[in-house]
Each structure stands twice: as C-alpha cells, then as structure tokens.
C-alpha cells in the first residue's frame, strides 16, 4: 500500500522540484497578449495573469492549480472524469439549448462535455491562471462560440450581459475526506445567486460512509514502528501519528464490518451550516476479526440523470485520486461475527480555511472477547 499522511495529502498541489523544471521550459506557442485576450472576461480576482510559459515557481506556489500536472491527475482519474462525461453526454435531453455554469472549469473538460451535449451557452469560471490553458484548448476544439470563459472567483464575477440565471451548474467540488480543501461553499453561493429555481446541479448529492477495517501490518509499520527506531524509544510520537488521518487506498478485503452512512448532503437545499458531520454510528461485524481503524469514504450522485450515475470512492470500487481516509485508534477491538461497535463521528470544517478539518471518533465496544472504550481526536491541516 502507498498511504499518504494528511499533511502530504496536498498532492493536488505542486512540489518545488516540478515547478523549477517548468520554469525553464521554452514553449514554441505564441505568448499571451493580454490586450488581445478577448476570449476571457475578467472578474475581479487576485491570481496571477500570465501566459503559462511565463510562470515561475513563485507563481505556481501562489496559484498551485495553474499547473497542468494538477489537472492531469484529475483528468486521469477515469472513474471521476468518465462519470461526469456520462452524466453530461448521455443526457443531451437535459443539456440541449440550456445555459450551463461550469464552476472551477480547470482546463475546461466539463465545459467541452456540456457544449457537446448541446448546451447553447457554457459559462466557464476559473479563478486560477489555468484558464490560459482552457482558452487555448477551447479554441483548438472550436467551441469558443459556445463556451465563454470568465477569470475570477465565482463569488466575485457577474454573468455575461443578458444572462441572469443558469439552467445547470456543473462542478467537481469534492476534496479528500469530502471536505478537505473543498469548493462546496462556492457551489452553495453560486446556486443561491445564479441557478434558476428549477435548475440542476451536477452532481447534487453526496453521502459520507464509515467502515471498520483490519489493518495490523500497516498500523504496526506506521504507528508501532516508532517504539524502537534504531534501538531508540521514539514512542512519544505515536500519539501524534495516530491523530492524523491517512489518505490512502484500502484493500476491500480488509473491511470487516458493514458500511454505515454518516450523513447525506443535498446540494439543492443544503446551507453553509450543514457543512459538518455529527453522527452516531453502528458497525456490525461481517466476520470474526480485529478492528484496527475506521475508514471513511464518500459517494456522490447525479440524481438528475434518469439512469443511476454515481462516483463511489469506497474501498474496492476502483481507484480514484480521493482514495479513502483511515483513522487509527489505540489498541484494537476483537470483534465476533454480528457483534456491534457503536460510537459517534464528528467532522468540523474550518470555513475560513477548508484545509483545516477536526474530527472526533468516540466509541465503545462490549464484545464477548474484548471490551474497549475510546475517545479520539484527529485533524487534517494543510
């Protein structure tokens, strides 16, 4: 397994090394002339406005999503990108002659899908300088009459003249563990300001789940390992290691309880106050086993589609860049088939800085072989 700690979960961003390589790249393309840059309308925003070939490491540090590598990873996440494609292109009847708002368009992939599905106008909004790539891509694919790019934060822009409301919002807003660095607040804002009352959101529902896993080998390697490092007792770190959830791929064979839905979020109706989880859970053992950790994952749905269309990040549902999130706790519960472990899961999102999440998992287990009570705090911080 190749687990990442939440501190290194920023793999949507760039490391210094790769930006240095880019800074010395000499592209053959024409340089951007901002005066002739009619295809992009400017909303007010504070990101750099440079031709990609002029960006330096410092610019990428300030605007990490400007780099194509971030978007390469997203586009190569086929479960993610193909599900959006199916949701849009297989539902021409929803898109034909409609006005679509693509929030955080990146290189423009969803805008291209929407244009292909027959939208009469796609408004593609992007705060990052990656919009410079989107401009070239949309022109190269001859969709510049249908797709209008707006540079800026969705919170700062106005729609083009003559357009007050849109029929459909498309956005890939989900972060690690659903809310880490998520765009959900921006989607709620845009829904309230720009979406027609009967408008659609793609996707529009998300559910967070929890399962228990057996994970002795990896837990020993990540946590117990500190007990003796080259013969020295570094065990004081174990407490810190355990408090950071790991973003990693979990093998579905490790799952030893049923799946518990913690909370469902309805993008059509939810408010900013709903961006948190405070849920009791009950996990029933599927077999006799040891529970070393809890794992959360999410499923998002495109309920406007007549056919069930979902992105599942569950263990075993196929690789996505979101992977799963693993929460270790001290000791382990020895659980017998059909026994139930009960507890409470909370997730609080810092709405000022969504790279800061705080979790609490409290549980008690009173089984035939073992009893365990545990109260644990975790945090993700960027």
- The tokens describing 192, both together, are 């309230």
Nearer to ligand SAM, 127 or 148 (CB): 127
Closest distance of CB 200 from ligand SAM, Å: 17
Note whether 52 binds ligand SAM by CB under 6 A: no
Note whether 129 binds ligand SAM by CB under 6 A: no
Note whether 357 binds ligand SAM by CB under 6 A: no
Q: For residues 72-91, which are near ligand SAM according to CB under 6 A?
A: 74-75
Note whether 60 binds ligand SAM by CB under 6 A: no
Interface residue with ligand SAM, options 41, 83, 128, 207 (CB under 6 A): 128
Note whether 191 binds ligand SAM by CB under 6 A: no
- Our CA dihedral for 128, 130, 136, 142, rounded to 10 degrees, sits at -70
Note whether 104 binds ligand SAM by CB under 6 A: yes
Helix (H, G, I), strand (E, B) or coil at 86: helix
Give the CA count within 13 Å in the CB-facing half-sphere of 128: 24
Q: For residues 132-171, which are near ligand SAM according to CB under 6 A?
A: 153-155
Which residue's CB comes closest to ligand SAM? 104
Interface residue with ligand SAM, options 71, 191, 292, 323 (CB under 6 A): 71
Q: Are 133 and 55 in contact (CB under 8 A)?
A: no
Helix (H, G, I), strand (E, B) or coil at 301: strand
Note whether 59 binds ligand SAM by CB under 6 A: no
Closest distance of CB 136 from ligand SAM, Å: 15
Neighbour order of strands in the sheet with 195-202? 40-42, 147-151, 121-126, 99-103, 166-170, 195-202
Q: Are 273 and 340 in contact (CB under 8 A)?
A: no
Classify burial at 60, counting beta carbons within 10 Å of its beta carbon; exposed 0-12, middle 13-18, buried 19 or more.
buried
Length of the chain: 382
- Closest by CA to 167, choosing from 179, 156, 159, is 159
β-pair type (310-312, 289-301): antiparallel
Q: For residues 214-233, which are near ligand SAM according to CB under 6 A?
A: none
Report how far residue 282's alpha carbon sits from residue 262's, in angstroms, rounded to the nearest whole number.
Answer: 10
Classify burial at 360, counting beta carbons within 10 Å of its beta carbon; exposed 0-12, middle 13-18, buried 19 or more.
middle
The 10 Å Cβ neighbour count of residue 349 is 24
Note whether 125 binds ligand SAM by CB under 6 A: yes
Note whether 310 binds ligand SAM by CB under 6 A: no
From 21-29, 119-127, 139-147, 292-300, span contacting ligand SAM (CB under 6 A): 119-127
Nearer to ligand SAM, 65 or 91 (CB): 65
Closest distance of CB 108 from ligand SAM, Å: 8
Task: Kindly state the helix (H) or strand (E) to which residue 19 belongs, with its residue range.
Answer: helix 16-23
From 22-30, 70-78, 112-120, 199-207, span contacting ligand SAM (CB under 6 A): 70-78
Report how far residue 246's alpha carbon sits from residue 173's, in angstroms, rounded to the nearest whole number.
Answer: 20
Closest distance of CB 125 from ligand SAM, Å: 5
Closest distance of CB 40 from ligand SAM, Å: 13
Interface residue with ligand SAM, options 41, 65, 296, 320 (CB under 6 A): 65
Helices 109-116 & 78-89 angle (0-180, nearest 10): 30
Closest distance of CB 232 from ligand SAM, Å: 42
- Closest by CA to 87, choosing from 67, 117, 63, is 117
Interface residue with ligand SAM, options 22, 183, 270, 277 (CB under 6 A): 183
Nearer to ligand SAM, 209 or 322 (CB): 322
Residues near ligand SAM (CB under 6 A): 65, 71, 74-75, 103-106, 109-110, 125-128, 130, 153-155, 172, 183, 186
């Amino acid at each position: 397994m190749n687990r990442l700690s939440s501190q290194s979960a920023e793999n949507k961003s760039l490391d210094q090394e790769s930006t240095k390589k880019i800074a010395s790249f000499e592209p053959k393309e024409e340089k951007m002339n901002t005066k002739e840059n009619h295809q992009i309308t400017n909303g007010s925003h504070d990101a750099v406005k440079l031709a990609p070939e002029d960006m330096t490491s410092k610019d990428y540090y300030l605007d990490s999503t400007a780099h194509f590598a971030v978007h390469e990873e997203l586009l190569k996440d086929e479960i993610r990108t193909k599900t959006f494609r199916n949701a849009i292109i297989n539902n021409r009847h929803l898109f034909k002659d409609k006005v679509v708002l693509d929030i955080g368009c990146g290189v423009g992939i969803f805008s291209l899908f929407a244009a292909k599905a027959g939208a009469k106008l796609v408004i593609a909004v992007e705060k990052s300088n990656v919009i410079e790539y989107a401009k070239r891509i949309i022109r190269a694919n001859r969709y510049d009459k249908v797709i209008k790019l707006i540079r800026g934060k969705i919170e700062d822009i106005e729609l083009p003249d003559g357009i007050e409301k849109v029929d459909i919002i498309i956005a890939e807003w989900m972060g690690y563990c659903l809310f880490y660095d998520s765009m959900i607040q921006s989607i709620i804002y845009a829904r309230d300001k720009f979406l027609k009352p009967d408008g659609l959101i793609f996707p529009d529902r998300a559910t967070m789940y929890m399962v228990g896993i057996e994970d002795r080998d990896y837990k020993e390697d990540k946590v117990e390992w500190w007990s003796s490092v080259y013969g020295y007792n570094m065990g004081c770190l174990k407490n810190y290691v355990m408090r950071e959830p790991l973003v990693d791929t979990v093998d579905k064979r490790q799952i030893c309880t049923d799946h518990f839905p913690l909370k469902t979020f309805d993008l059509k109706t939810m408010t900013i106050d709903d961006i948190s989880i405070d849920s009791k859970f009950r996990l029933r053992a599927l077999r006799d086993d040891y529970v070393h950790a809890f794992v959360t994952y999410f499923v998002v749905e495109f309920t406007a589609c007549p056919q069930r269309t979902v992105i599942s990040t569950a263990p075993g549902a196929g690789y996505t860049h979101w992977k799963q999130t693993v929460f270790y706790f001290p000791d382990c519960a020895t659980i017998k088939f059909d026994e139930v472990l009960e507890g409470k899961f909370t997730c609080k999102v810092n709405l000022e800085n969504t790279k800061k999440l705080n979790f609490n998992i409290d549980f008690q287990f009173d089984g035939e072989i073992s009893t365990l009570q545990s109260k644990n705090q975790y945090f993700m911080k960027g």
